[in-house]
Structure 1
Amino acid sequence: MILIKAFKALVVEQSGNDVTSGIREMTIEDLPSGELLIQVVYSSVNYKDALACIANGNVVKTYPFIPGIDLAGIVKSSTDGRFHEGDEVLITGYELGVSHYGGFSEYARVSSQWAVKLPEGLSMKEAMIFGTAGFTAALSVQELQDGGVNADQGPILVTGATGGVGSMAVAMLAKLGYEVVASTGKAEQKEHLMKLGAARVISRDELVPEKVRALDKQLWAGAVDCVGGKSLSYILSSTRYGGTVAISGLTGGAELATTVFPFILRGIRLIGIDSVMASMEKRVRIWNRLTSELKPAMLNSMYTEIALEQIPGVVQSILKGQAQGRTLVKISSCKGT
């Protein structure tokens, strides 16, 4: 029997048209149903988490709510025979932090169908430095490789390169030997991106010409696009024959103006990256790759660590476009983390 009197969580509440967030004391009885009760050791802050903390963010439907689309922790109780007390697990995506109480809490009760046992060679801390952003970046890299885009075929463009997904993609691709061209609107981050492995850094303005041609000069063997919008139109028109473009973001807009020519004359692939409902088979495969070949040497310098109480301040930075890299949240202490 688990005896937990009370614990802390970041709770988002609504009053009229106002949405506020703050640390609240919770009990196990406050948590939704699920086969696993997990002591959360680490989480991370993503753009979707920031949207969950504001009015009109279009993430949270019912209040009060605990955000946090990522968590890594220790199983305290399980009604699923595949998991046992003491197992270290991680969860990203599914309903976590969207329609089911998430990882910004010292304890979480979740569906066992969402949990991945922490692979050997990866700590809970490292899993959350990656988090949804790293998982999304790895899915993108996997799609480029599955599409036959090899390191000797030319440069790979990464847009939104200082963000969570972008910075992870830069580091992963560089480790695999690709020539990475990083695009950003933050010129002052050029040195940081070069340290991550970028061979060249360009301004995002270079990807939004006044007029986008149906087919432009062939520049990129492939691309990891975290931005979308008008720049994606240009990327498609300037991707080399047989290239792959993996799209995972829409900060540049949700609309896409293009023609069929890049697809039928150059045979390029435009692949949507969905990290939320990816199959468990794919998840396990990707997380295993993140223990070794996709694990950047600089992983432990690619994050800022904060406490649960500091999340609201980070949310504001993310919404203002001031965030860089990954923000790790230390939720609770546990020996060996």
Structure 2
Amino acid sequence: MKSDPSWDLYRTFLAVVEEGSLSGAARRLDLTQPTVARHIDALESAVGYDLFLRSQRGLIATEAALELKPYAETLASTSAALLRAASGYARTTDGGSVKGTVRITASEVVGAEHLPPILARLRQRHPQLVIELVLSNEVSDLLRRDADIAVRMVEPAQDALIARRLSGIGLGLFAHRDYLDRRGVPASMTDLAGHDLIGFDRETPALRGILRRFPVLNRAAFALRADSDLAQIAAIRAGFGIGGCQIPVARRHPDLVHVLAREFELELGMWIVMHEDLKTSPRCRAVFNALVEGMDATMDKSAAQTTGSGTSTCDSRSATIAPM
């Protein structure tokens, strides 16, 4: 290293790597293209080698640039986490202790179908609280501070995390009444071969586990393929065909019919997870507890409905972080 580069240079560097051009990075950062070019020149001068190959199609990251990218991503995550932490100490008009920004990551279905009413009640209790909600089926790295709190469908394996397990959430096969009126109700899993099935496009490790149990639900059998769970649910509601849906979500739509309930039974785990360093933060503690209590109530309500239909559920193991 010829000098110690400014953090701004790494931010610009990351934007250029991800956008693939100076113009794209400039739009993303709200900078001029010459400014972005100067930042890249300054960083290359500081490290002593080229980070990009210039071509007519834009900038191509070199092997050295790709090796630096994860570190730049960590800087960006740390910077964002620092700002969120600082926001918790900003002056407020009501003098409340719960204030600032909290970033939550959750799966598409959980974030769109379960969290909105919980977050609405939370905001009413703490009007100085700001929520950043990231919907993704990928597991965010809380140790790298990609988010403050995660609602996960897989058990966390990392140390230094606080995790509260909730009741499991059932997953079933559903179809709209109109579709079943047209095509009939399948009597067995093998009957699904004669139906329009809705499912995934790209196979994941979790999906491979389901395929081992239910091989009929393979990609080749799907009439509609989408990696978005929300798109799949929308197609089920529209009467396209039969697809998987969380049981409490389907219960909210009386026109959706649960098919093959005994033949297809799956239970998804549910964990609320936070980095242990954030347990002393009033804003994070309030959000963590609200998510645990809200999701637990949602699961309990679903369990009561499901038990009435003869499907078993697991017991809740939830807990909250005590006030400090």
TM-score, with normalisation over the residues of structure 2? Answer: 0.27
Larger radius of gyration: 2
The answer to which structure has the higher strand fraction is 1
